[in-house]
Amino acid sequence: MLSPKLLRGETDKVANNLARRGHELDVSGYKKLEARRKALHMETERFRNERNVRSKSIGQAKAKGEDIEPLKAEVDKLGERLKDLEGDLKVVTRELREVELGLPNLLDESVPDGKSEEDNQEVRVWGEPKTFSFDVKDHVDLGGEQMDFEVAAKITGSRFVVLKGSVARLHRALIQFMLDTHTQEHEYQEVYVPYVVHAGSLVGTGQLPKFAEDLFRISHEQPFFLIPTAEVPVTNLARDSIIEAEDMPLKFVAHTPCFRSEAGAYGQDTRGMIRQHQFEKVELVQIVRPDASYEALEQLTGQAETILQRLNLPYRTVILCAGDTGFGSAKTYDIEVWLPSQARYREISSCSNFETFQARRMGARWRNPETGKAEVLHTLNGSGLAVGRTLVAILENYQREDGTVEVPEALRGYMGGRETL
RNA sequence: GGAGAGAUGGCUGAGUGGUCGAAAGCGCUCCCCUGCUAAGGGAGUAAGGGUUAAAAGCCCUUCGAGGGUUCGAAUCCCUCUCUCUCCGCCA
């Protein structure tokens, strides 16, 4: 959510920034609504004041033993009008909040213009796409019987997978390796969190109210959802709280499954493990002082890249252009790993600075020692990394001519010393 | 699942219809005193919003959430959520 003050005070400026994303803010509609809210608000306050003052005088009159009946009747009438006003104000406030919750974040100045993925800018490239002297197979062929989409479809449906044997173990090894690296070398605290969250948490991180169709909703009575990313429960750790400056930055890493309905992705990446309804991810989250968030974004992105470097997987990092930057993000780097079967880079991590966008929705603040006040903090997150896609990248990049796959050196300790899958 | 207790400011914790945005303590800030591994005294200290060029001041809202009673609710009633204790069940 944007600062209501900023939105009110500099509506046109905000509209211009949002236009870079292709989001059109209805300025006159917003201004009209806001003007109505303000008028109602002031009128309501006036009536409340009147009521409070008079009620107090009734109390005093009663204490003196005076007749208070006529006074009561008078204030009673006032109360009726007040009730109407409060009702109207509530409706308008709710409408306005709906509008505010639907607005994406402001973009950082360093975000390049552009409409789509094609306008993203390469920031750096690491490693070189390996050349193969034979026809490369994709991960589905390489996984063979140990990557079973058919049985998963029987159990559940499309976009699920069953992993077996050494592929299942490699999958688990990747999780361990990522968690160990981030906790031991990058000083993240490992956390275990709920995979089911209520709507408030999703509003906090920005998935709701706008992107409900991307989520799996469970339970009929209570609005519970499966998490689409660990970002939701982990960032919400700071919900409704005030963090002391000396405790910052808070750095959390969590491994969780992620569940996405992938509505609207029909026909995309239907083969293999690239796009699944359920996948594992190791997620990095930082809760930081506002003046430190951009430094933290660079750090966090670099930490995610470390994993690919250790696995010796070629990748590149791009900065997302205005049109491709996610709803809540002010600035996002995507890390893309090289997939030989597709002969192109594919997203494996997305690292974003949300500035105050999520914190404001969540009520997450920190105590600024300079002002002594509780102020809205900044949140960031990034995949470190998407486990399923990392598995895909390993299978494809480490394949041999005979269809076997070499185990990356960094993972052998997690694989009982095996050198081949 | 059954029975009971509770939810108050950064924290602990008083407060059962008006003078309570709320005692006290802790913490924090400032000042005074003191010279020795410290302590003592005083003052201030909830958040959000409106009015303002800004501040002061004034006003509104907020005592888990939502609804209700009342001229007036932290305080009474209803619903919900969460926490704790005991019993039952259980990975």
Give the residue from A198, A183, A186, A205 showing the smallest Cα distance to A254. Answer: A183
Q: Examine the residue annotation and report whether A350 is marked as an active-site residue of this protein.
A: yes
Q: Examine the residue annotation and report whether A260 is marked as an active-site residue of this protein.
A: yes
Q: Examine the residue annotation and report whether A347 is marked as an active-site residue of this protein.
A: yes
Lowest mean pLDDT among A205-209, A252-256, A329-333, A401-405: A205-209
pTM as predicted: 0.93
Q: List bases in chain B with any atom under 7 Å of a protein Cβ.
A: 10, 18-19, 28-29, 47-51, 59-61, 67, 70-72
The reply to whether the CB atom of residue A42 sits less than 7 A from any atom in nucleic acid chain B is yes
The reply to whether the CB atom of residue A65 sits less than 7 A from any atom in nucleic acid chain B is no
A237-CA/B26-C1' distance, Å? 26
Q: Three-state SS across A314-327?
A: CEEEEECCCCCCCC
Q: What is the pLDDT of residues A1-41, one digit of tens each?
A: 898 888 988 899 999 999 999 999 999 999 999 999 999 99
A183-CA/B64-C1' distance, Å? 35
Give the residue from A378, A159, A396, A193 showing the smallest Cα distance to A283. Answer: A193
Q: Examine the residue annotation and report whether A383 is marked as an active-site residue of this protein.
A: no
- In angstroms, rounded to a whole number, what is the distance separating the alpha carbons of residues A4 and A356? 12
Q: What is the pLDDT of residues A358-386, one digit of tens each?
A: 999 998 988 888 877 888 999 999 999 99
- In angstroms, rounded to a whole number, what is the distance separating the alpha carbons of residues A328 and A354? 6
Average pLDDT for chain A: 93
Q: What is the pLDDT of residues A173-231, one digit of tens each?
A: 999 999 999 999 999 999 999 999 988 899 999 999 899 899 998 876 667 899 999 99
pLDDT band at A266 (very low <50, low <70, confident <90, very high): confident
Structure tokens at A307: 């994993």
Give the residue from A292, A365, A354, A381 showing the smallest Cα distance to A2. Answer: A354
Of A293, A341, A349, A350, catalytic: A350
Per the CB < 8 A criterion, the answer to whether A354 and A326 are in contact is: no
Instruction: Give the side-chain half-sphere CA count within 13 A for A83.
Output: 6
Give the residue from A212, A216, A300 showing the smallest Cα distance to A252. Answer: A300
